[in-house]
Structure formats: C-alpha cells, structure tokens
C-alpha cells in the first residue's frame, strides 16, 4: 500500500451537524486522514484512499441527496476496485438514521467494502420544521466519539490491521 494512502472522510451536511462530526473525526485521525465534501469526491480520490468514513445526515428516511449523488457518480468507475477496504459511518439524524445507515451499508456491500467499526448514529432531536432547519450544535461527548472513531480508523489503516 503506498504511504500516501489514507483514510478518506467523506461528508455532507445541510445544517452543520455532520460537518462537525466529520471534522471531529478528522481531528482524531490527524495527518492520517483527508476530509472531503461529498460533492468534491472523485473516483480517483476513492481509488487512492486506503479506507473510508462516510458522514452525513438522514433526510426523508434516506441518505442525503448530495451523499447519494457521490455514490451514484462514483459507483461504477470504482466497482470491482475497492474490494476489502475498510469503512465506517456516522449518520446525523433528527430522530432515526437507520435507513440512511442501511443504504450506505448496501452500497458498501456492492463495493465489497468491509465494515470495521460499529455504526455511529447521532440524534439531534430535531423534529419540528424550525428545529430541523436550525444550525446544529453537537454535544461534546458525541464529538469525542467521532474523534475516537477517526483515530481508530487512521491507526488501523497505518498499522495494516484491517
């Protein structure tokens, strides 16, 4: 594995929650990670990475559109070329998050990625239109979980244990 191969943290966020979680994961991973917005991810960036952390919100009981668009755009160019690489996920949700989680797992199964950490779902308790549209502040203990996850993934990749 070339030494520049890293953890790619791919994020999308509408109201800041997933962005904060993605950045926290990036802090934990340090120089072992590269943080990229879903809209800027290319098939080449996916091919060059050693592992993936997908971070995004659940919208309308699904992956957010921008995250799904990244998978739609990159799926076939990468199909058959990522087998066995490690991945993990962080979903930021108002009250659920399970469907977005399942969708990523299903896409990852197509790519034959290997889940190496339990799913992390962070609920912001946003249930009214006002709360849903408001900027999100993620509790420090949840940011710490994201930081720890980023650190564990980057260390595992560097040590070649996945």
Ligand X SMILES: Cc1cc2nc3c(=O)[nH]c(=O)nc-3n(C[C@H](O)[C@H](O)[C@H](O)COP(=O)(O)O)c2cc1C
- What is the spatial distance between Cα 53 and Cα 5, in angstroms, rounded to a whole number? 14
Position among 10, 63, 124, 157 found at the interface with ligand X (CB under 6 A): 124
43 near ligand X (CB under 6 A): no
> How many residues in the shown chain lie near ligand X by CB under 6 A?
21
Position among 59, 89, 101, 103 found at the interface with ligand X (CB under 6 A): 59
Integer angstrom CA distances of residue 120 from 16, 55, 117, 153, 162: 17, 9, 9, 13, 19
Which distant-in-sequence residues (6+ apart) come within 8 Å of 26 by Cβ?
9, 33, 35, 150
- Binding range to ligand X, per CB under 6 A, among 14-22, 43-51, 71-79, 149-157: 14-22
97 near ligand X (CB under 6 A): yes
Element containing residue 93 per DSSP (H, E): strand 86-93
- Binding range to ligand X, per CB under 6 A, among 52-60, 80-88, 141-149, 151-159: 52-60
Burial of 47: CB neighbours in 10 Å, binned 0-12, 13-18, 19+: middle
- Binding range to ligand X, per CB under 6 A, among 10-18, 24-32, 43-51, 67-75: 10-18
Position among 7, 8, 9, 14 found at the interface with ligand X (CB under 6 A): 14
Q: Which residues bind to ligand X, rule: CB under 6 A?
A: 13-18, 57-61, 92-97, 124, 126, 132, 136
């Amino acid at each position: 594995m070339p030494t520049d191969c890293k953890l790619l943290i791919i994020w999308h966020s509408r109201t800041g929650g997933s962005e904060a979680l993605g950045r926290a994961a990036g802090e934990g991973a340090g120089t072992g990670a590269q943080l990229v917005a879903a809209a800027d991810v290319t098939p080449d960036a996916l091919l060059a990475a050693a592992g993936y952390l997908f971070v995004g919100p659940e919208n309308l009981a699904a992956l957010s559109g921008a995250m799904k668009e990244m998978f739609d755009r990159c799926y076939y160019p990468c199909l058959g070329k990522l087998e066995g690489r490690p991945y993990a996920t962080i979903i930021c949700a108002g009250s659920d998050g399970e469907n977005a989680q399942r969708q990523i797992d299903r896409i990852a199964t197509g790519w034959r990625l290997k889940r190496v950490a339990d799913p992390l779902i962070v609920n912001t308790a946003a249930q009214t239109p006002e709360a849903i549209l408001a900027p999100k502040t993620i509790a420090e203990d949840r940011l710490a979980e994201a930081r720890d996850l980023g650190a564990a993934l980057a260390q595992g990749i560097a040590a070649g244990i996945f």
